[in-house]
Structure 1
Amino acid sequence: MSRLVLAIDTATPAVTAGVVRMHNGPDAGVEVLDEQVTVDPRAHAERLTPNIVAALWEARVGPGELDAVVVGCGPGPFTGLRVGMATAAAFGHALAVPVRGVCSLDAIAAGSVGEVLVVTDARRREVYWARYRDGKRIDGPAVNVAADVPAGARAVAGSREHAALFGLQMLPAEYPTAAGLVAAVDDWVGEPEPLVPLYLRRPDAKPQAVPR
């Protein structure tokens, strides 16, 4: 018995789409059939659908064969998150399959050992961050300037530019992966929670005042 999952994330500059087969029973495990990643902070809307189509094609999986969709819900910028989550919701609705949202930082931390800090670019000279112990989140997610992020981790993962600010051992994981997104799901059996974006602060864009 296995489950085919489409994994999507647009919370970072990486536009990620992958097809994962989850094996149950004695051969339990995760098999990434294909993963398409484009690193471009300005191309979420342009690249996500082509990456999904390419991943399905390379994996030799038809959309109707999918059993679930997993999407990273941030933290991340307003526009990027909206693209990924709206696309995931549309696929789930069209295919009548559950859509499960996960913290994108959890996907970066998946499989890590010991106490690890994960950071991504929050702009405004700030970082999104969370701390993990053996891949399980113990603090965060939150947004702060680097100097205000609590200390205590042995290593750091995530955005290379921002990870370098902490003087810790840098782990290879930089962006959410298809395998990491799937690993971040806590419950595959229950009814999925509504998708809630982790903006952690108000978007940069503000509505114009309505003239009286």
Structure 2
Amino acid sequence: MFALVLDSGTPAVTAGIVRVAAAGVEVCAARVTVDARAHGELLAPHVAAALAEAGVARGDLAAVVAGVGPGPYTSLRVGLVTAAAFAQALGLPTYGVGTLDALGHAAAGLGRVLAATDARRREIYWAAYADGRPLTPPAVAAPAAAEVRDAVAAHGVAVAVGEGAARYAEVLGLPAAEPTYPAVASLAALAADRIRAGAPGEALTPRYLRRPDAVAAAARKPVRR
């Protein structure tokens, strides 16, 4: 079975086509461009390019996999709306995968790791993993926050992965390792069992972890005449 894989929870605009078989997941094609301001412009063309390279028609797809974050509001929304629209048009199930989970899965061979992406505002989205399994829920905090330091110490974390890890390696006090961004293979691997089983599609609920900057006015101000 073929599946479309998308992720927009980081500056990496990611789209790929994978083949899901009993033996595992094979990446047939992938398109990745690192540009935090180009998700809206690049994601759909990346999908088209990946389909063409893989030689897979839209009608051959069995599912859509999408990274659900955490990530910045605008870029994450682009990916999830694109995934939902594509799936609805083709009548396909959608499966969500945590963006940090994909990093943790890819770093399974490193043992206990901190997966961290850049949350802007001098903060990171982070979670700890052991052999790819989550030890903590995803959260957002300053890299020097006590909750991050405590988790690193409590779980014996020795290395960090992700863009946030590379950017704040000195503050975190951990060496940064690959991967820097979630890979198509890891996103697909975390949804593979659901695809093989033909599980019911899931609502793609974004993990924003913080309130949006824009808020509605509490009340209208009186107008003086």
**TM-score with structure 1 length normalisation?**
0.92
* Counterpart for residue 98 of structure 2: 103
The one of 16, 25, 32 equivalent to 1:18 is: 16
Contact 2:169 2:175 in 1 (8 A): no
Task: State which of 131, 151, 158 in structure 2 corresponds to 1:154.
Answer: 158
Give me the whole-angstrom Cα distance separating, in 1, the residues matched to 2:208 and 2:113. Answer: 22
**Structure 1 position 201 matched with structure 2 position 214:** no
CA contact (8 A) 1:74 1:199 kept: yes
Checking the alignment, whether the CA contact within 8 Å between 1:109 and 1:173 is kept in structure 2 is: no
Which sits farther off after the overlay, 67-76 or 141-150? 141-150
1:198 Cα deviation after fit: 0.3
Aligned to 1:167: 173
Query: Rg bigger for which structure?
Result: 2
Mapped to 1, the partners of 2:204 and 2:20 lie a distance apart of 22
Is contact 1:8–1:16 with CA below 8 Å preserved after alignment? Answer: yes
- Deviation of the 1:23 alpha carbon: 1.6
Indicate yes or no: 2:129 matched with 1:132.
yes
Flag the 1:59–1:163 CA change in 2: closer, same or farther, 3 A.
Answer: farther
CA distance in structure 2 between the aligned counterparts of 1:164 and 1:119, rounded to whole angstroms: 13
Greater helix proportion:
2
State the aligned residue count: 207
Structure 1 residues 66, 164: CA separation in 2 closer, same or farther (over 3 Å shift)?
Answer: farther
**Corresponding residue of 2:89:** 94
Aligned counterparts of 1:49 and 1:97: Cα–Cα separation in 2: 17
1:61 alignment partner, one of 56, 59, 75: 56
CA distance in 1: counterparts of 2:180 and 2:190, whole angstroms? 16
Q: Does 1:192 align with 2:198?
A: no
Task: State the shift of 1:119 in Å.
Answer: 0.2
**CA-based RMSD:** 1.5
Residues 85, 205 of structure 1: CA spacing in aligned structure 2 closer, same or farther, 3 A cutoff?
same
Counterpart for residue 179 of structure 1: 185
Q: Is the CA contact (8 Å cut-off) linking 1:120 and 1:162 kept in structure 2?
A: no
Instruction: Give 1:71's match in structure 2, choosing from 63, 66, 71.
Output: 66
In the alignment, the residues of structure 2 paired with residue 7 and residue 162 of structure 1 have an alpha-carbon distance, to the nearest angstrom, of: 28
Other structure's SS at 2:144 match = helix
Query: Is the 1:18–1:55 contact (alpha carbons within 8 Å) kept by the matching residues of 2?
Result: yes
Q: Whose strand proportion is higher, 1 or 2?
A: 1
In the alignment, the residues of structure 2 paired with residue 91 and residue 98 of structure 1 have an alpha-carbon distance, to the nearest angstrom, of 10
Is the 8 Å Cα contact of residues 93 and 202 (structure 2) preserved in structure 1?
no
Give 3-state SS (helix, strand or coil) of 1:153's partner: coil
What letter is aligned with 2:57?
G
